[in-house]
Amino acid sequence: MAIERTFSIIKPDATRRNLTGKINAKLEGAGLRIVAQRRVWMTTAQAEQFYGVHRERPFFRDLVTFMTSGPVVVQVLEGENAVAANREVMGATNPANAAEGTIRKEFAESIEANSVHGSDSAENAATEIAYFFAGTDIVG
Ligand code: CMP
């Protein structure tokens, strides 16, 4: 098994409800180490670029509006198979389908306000990490 890095966002619905610590306890409990972290309030342009792959989806405008509705915490997670490990502890995108014990089952409000984002591949993780962090910001 390989040590890898993935990108994580604690979304505005979660920062609004003061759930940053509880979510990060779940991530750490899943064997992930937070090796970079910053609180940011994304601009519309930043959110549009970050979610550019979803530009043609019907939910794109609402997604950008939601992701710019409050502060988020962007972070880099490191661990064995970090991409898959993070996705497992996050749970399904729609909290209605998320397994017991997952972050989205416990905390998400809806498919949009679903508390966390996590990269879906190692390749996308590298792109997403580079969007918010310089190499020198990441301290493993
Ligand atoms: P995320 O992992 O951040 O990537 C894209 C986001 O779009 C996704 O999580 C959801 O929060 C959001 N989203 C909103 N509506 C939908 C939908 N109908 N299907 C998939 N994702 C959606």
Q: Mind listing the pLDDT tens digit for each residue in 12-43? A: 999 999 999 999 999 999 999 999 999 999 99
Does ligand 1 lie within 6 Å of residue 59's CB atom?
yes
Pocket flag, ligand 1, residue 81 (CB < 6 Å):
no
Q: Whose CA is nearest to atom 3 of ligand 1?
A: 117
Q: With a 6 A CB cut-off, is 93 part of the ligand 1 pocket?
A: yes
Ligand 1 atom 14, closest CA: 112
Which element (helix H / strand E) includes 95? Answer: none
The pLDDT assigned to 1 comes to 67
Question: Would residue 54 show up in a list of annotated catalytic residues for this protein?
Answer: no
The atom of ligand 1 lying closest to the CA of 118 is 2
Beta strands (DSSP E) in the chain are 3-10, 33-40, 72-80, 116-118
By alpha-carbon position, which residue is closest to atom 11 of ligand 1? 112
Instruction: List the catalytic residue out of 117, 118, 119, 125.
Output: 117
Whole-number pLDDT of residue 5: 98
Q: Which residues of the chain have pLDDT under 70?
A: 1
Residue pair 72/19 in contact by the 8 Å Cβ criterion: no
Measured from the Cβ of residue 87, the count of other Cβ atoms closer than 10 Å reads: 19
Query: 103: closest CA among 124, 126, 77?
Result: 77
Between CA 124 and CA 129 the distance in angstroms is 8
The amino acid occupying position 47 is A
